[in-house]
Amino acid sequence: MAARPERLMAELETLWEQLARRGEEGVLRACALTLVAVTDAGEDVGRAGATLAELTERHPARAILLRLSEGGAEPEARVFAHCWLPRASRRQICSEQIEITAGRERLREIIPVLLALAAPDLPVAMWWRNPEVLLAPEQEELAALASHVISDAGGTREAARFLARMAAWLRPDRTVGDLAWARLTRWREALAQAFECAAGPTRSWEISAAVVVSPGGSKTVAACYMAAWLAMSLGWAPDDRRLRIEHSRTPGPGSLEAVRLSGSSFSVSLERRGPELVEVRLNGEFHHRFFPRQGEAELLAEELTAGPRDEIYRRCLVAAAALARRLEQR
In the chain, the number of structural domains is 2
User: What is the reported pLDDT for 309?
Assistant: 63
- Cα–Cα dist 286/281, whole Å: 4
pLDDT recorded at residue 26: 66
Per-residue confidence (pLDDT) for residue 290, from 0 to 100: 94
The packing angle between helices 159-168 and 221-234, to 10°, is 60
**What domain range includes position 43?**
5-146
pLDDT digits (tens, 9 = 90+) for 96-133: 899 999 888 888 889 999 999 999 999 999 999 988 88
Same domain, 274 and 218: yes
Give me the pLDDT at residue 88, please. 65
Whether residues 217 and 285 share a domain: the answer is: yes
Strands (E), the chain: 27-29, 33-40, 61-69, 76-84, 92-103, 124-128, 148-151, 175-178, 207-214, 243-247, 258-263, 267-274, 277-282, 285-290
Q: In this structure, which amino acid lies at residue 123?
A: P
H or E segment to which residue 112 belongs: helix 107-117
Residues 189 and 249 in one domain: yes
HEC states along 143-210? HCCCCEEEECCCCCCCHHHHHHHHHHCCECCEEEEEHHHHCCHHHHHHHHHHHHHHCCHHHHHHEEEE
Q: Report if residue 157 sits inside a domain.
A: no
∠ CA 302-305-311, rounded to 5°:
95
The Cα–Cα gap between 220 and 69 comes to 27
Same domain membership, residue 134 and residue 70: yes
Q: Is the pTM of this model over 0.75?
A: yes
CA distance 68 to 80: 19
Is 257 in a helix, a strand, or coil?
coil
Residue 89: inside a domain:
yes
Which of 89, 116, 146 delimits the end of a domain? 146
215: left (phi over 0), alpha (psi -120 to 50) or beta: beta
Q: Is residue 42 part of a domain?
A: yes
Residue 116 inside a domain? The answer is: yes
Contact call for residues 229 and 323 (beta carbons, < 8 A): no
pLDDT, residue 58, reads 86
Amino acid 82: pLDDT: 83
Residues 29, 140, single domain; the answer is: yes
Q: Would you say residue 330 lies in a domain?
A: no
Q: How many helices (H) and strands (E) does the chain have?
A: 11, 14
| Residues of the chain where predicted confidence (pLDDT) is lower than 70 | 1-2, 22-26, 88-89, 198-203, 217-219, 253, 307-309
Q: Decide: residue 54, CB within 10 A, 0-12 exposed, 13-18 middle, 19+ buried.
A: middle
